[in-house]
Structure 1
């Protein structure tokens, strides 16, 4: 089942935020995450808050009514953030499988967000999608509804790897989905996963090369994490499948960097590569910068001005609350200055632009020289005249957790 929510203080029934969170809101960027919790099947590795239609019942929990509940939370967000709320910079529709909803409903949610908040002229609007659910009609409806990019869950080009992950899409459908999205005038991103039990380095290279040959604008490559509570974790525990060796992840990351760089992609975040600067996922960049975002949907997380909160997980109580005009928040935390600093370092160092040395405290700046000597940070980036920064080398990307611990003095 999906992972448990954190424990925090209660969220006010009207969703109101402390005045400190709203101070300066108008001058900050605001993103919107829309969570669609439906999947045709739950993949064995997945720890996200998702549900198959057969598991659900009750008012507001179905495919045909979900958009109404999401719109109700958007209205709550507008009341909570008030007149100082800026126009939305980025929208990301994730899941689950967002394209299990009708494309018209996805477009309606985006239109409602625009009507309530306004959209920045260069707004980025992304939907995740299973390749089997995207054809020309869906892509054209998304494009007409204001979407600018689609992120297709390719995961692998190798049938036995997809079978282990319990991914149901046909690998041959990925190319057709890419063509449909591109023909509609939208940017294309492909998501890949490496480190699946039984996946060889040759399998992984085959997936990377297959993805690159489709000439997407953007590729994400994430290491598989076997989460407790998932079917895959139970299989590992019983010895049905074996986890890869410890150095498998590092080897496969280096293969990804080699193949994708040769294909014309540049890394801009540890797990993300883009063909051009304007093909980067700006919504995800906003997370790594610590910007404000409102998460709509069951189990969705939000962050505004140092306040983080999360919604109830199940779609039925979620819908009941928002349709009654109440907050669906299950809990929240108000971050301390120390927590916000730690997160800024943890997330900011992942970016290819590097973390400005001005952000670091004295202990962090003192650690930089040793990290350069150990080959984990780029020495030239740290001493450049314009914005000297802690920028990861390739080895540093492989050992990013170590870099963060040393910068934070842990």
Structure 2
């Protein structure tokens, strides 16, 4: 089941933001994230805020969700306008959950709601995640007509045994077929997600998945190590000994395998878990997160960040819809980050990027630590000489620990 929300300060009933959120507004871009909480089935490793029809019962539906998203989009536009914010939206990302379950009517309706209240920047990146089994030519054509520019598909693995352990319902080749269909339809950018380290997965399994992704026509590949999240079916299987705990050394070896195979196929890493065939293929929406830009998260459980104010919505779709129907913000809680907290997050996130972390963002002790890390082969010496802390391949395996060390 979905994990619990963190505590925080109350969100004003009208969703208003403090004046401090407007500081430096024009120096940051604005993005929208839309969370679709529906799934046909629940994967055993997933603790995302998603619900099957059986879990929701009659308390919520895609239509009540869409009505609520329309209302929150209007709320977002009013709240930002009150700050004097007239920025165009540079990226939109519809995630979940399984957005493709909304179909060729529902997903375009989401973009209609966005355009009713916001201006899209010229060349805006508009992405939706999609499940291969609920995506075909009709949906792809409708997405393009609605202005979607990028498709993100969950391949996870081409091994039937790995997919079975992950409780994935799609057939191994279906995602690859959808890439071909998306390219033929006219999508300029297509991403495939992979998961590595599933119990029982072999090097040969992951190699085959990488090579299939690299030759599919996708121009972006994301590869994430399997995390055993508390409360999931996978966690129970590991706890009871049905499945072994993922081995850290195996995970490291699989990451090195991903780097080797994807680089050989013409992809370049730009964030620890992400590779793109060209600079234009990089996910601009995720780059907005990693570089501290502003975004408003629409939907149940969605998180937002504007000018150092971070808040998160109530999780259940019924409670989310009820709040908006009553004219209230669906925000569950929020926090206002101080300068030190924002600086810490900036280091943690920017260090993951191939562009690296400018050394001036570190204090003197952090810069000394960076020089020591370079001596140990964890940061690139040449980049450090140019004033940038950039992870080496070995450093990428230890990215979070290195960031903590740099922060002292």
Same fold flag (TM > 0.5)? yes
Moved more, 356-365 or 190-199: 356-365
Aligned counterpart, 1:49: 49
Alignment check: 8 A CA contact 1:198 1:244 kept: no
Q: CA deviation at 1:364?
A: 1.3
Unmatched tracts of structure 1, length 5 or more: none
- How far, CA to CA, are the matches of 1:364 and 1:10 in structure 2? 35
- The DSSP-based 3-state class of the residue aligned with 1:258 is helix
Alignment check: 8 A CA contact 2:190 2:220 kept: yes
Aligned counterpart, 2:277: 275
Alignment check: 8 A CA contact 1:25 1:85 kept: no
Aligned counterpart, 2:8: 8
Q: Deviations over 1:336-385 (max 9, x none)?
A: 1111111000000000011111211222111111000010000011113x
- How far, CA to CA, are the matches of 2:369 and 2:198 in structure 1? 35
2:330 corresponds to 1:332: no
Alignment check: 8 A CA contact 1:131 1:153 kept: yes
- How far, CA to CA, are the matches of 2:359 and 2:173 in structure 1? 46
Aligned counterpart, 1:396: 395
Aligned counterpart, 1:74: 73
- The DSSP-based 3-state class of the residue aligned with 1:101 is helix
| Consecutive aligned runs of 4 or more in structure 1 exceeding 4 Å deviation | none
- How far, CA to CA, are the matches of 1:258 and 1:247 in structure 2? 17
Alignment check: 8 A CA contact 1:381 1:391 kept: yes
Q: Deviations over 1:74-96 (max 9, x none)?
A: 00101111142311010000000
Moved more, 201-210 or 188-197: 201-210
Aligned counterpart, 2:163: 162
Q: CA deviation at 1:27?
A: 4.0
- How far, CA to CA, are the matches of 2:23 and 2:40 in structure 1? 42
Q: Deviations over 1:274-333 (max 9, x none)?
A: 000000000000000011000001110000000110000000010111122210000001
Given candidates 291, 311, 314, the residue that maps to 1:312 is 314
Q: CA deviation at 1:212?
A: 1.1
- The DSSP-based 3-state class of the residue aligned with 1:247 is helix
Aligned counterpart, 2:176: 175
- How far, CA to CA, are the matches of 1:26 and 1:351 in structure 2? 23
- Superposed, 1:333-372 pairs within 5 Å as 333-372=335-374
- How far, CA to CA, are the matches of 1:175 and 1:396 in structure 2? 32
- How far, CA to CA, are the matches of 2:86 and 2:312 in structure 1? 20
Moved more, 274-283 or 362-371: 362-371
Q: CA deviation at 1:28?
A: 2.1
Unmatched tracts of structure 2, length 5 or more: none
- How far, CA to CA, are the matches of 1:219 and 1:284 in structure 2? 13
2:205 corresponds to 1:206: no
Q: CA deviation at 1:229?
A: 0.5
- How far, CA to CA, are the matches of 2:378 and 2:212 in structure 1? 31
Aligned counterpart, 2:102: 101
Alignment check: 8 A CA contact 1:90 1:124 kept: yes
Q: CA deviation at 1:58?
A: 4.5
Q: CA deviation at 1:55?
A: 1.4
Q: CA deviation at 1:112?
A: 2.1
CA RMSD in angstroms, aligned pairs only: 1.1
Aligned counterpart, 1:150: 151
- The DSSP-based 3-state class of the residue aligned with 1:127 is strand
Aligned counterpart, 2:123: 122
Q: CA deviation at 1:110?
A: 1.5
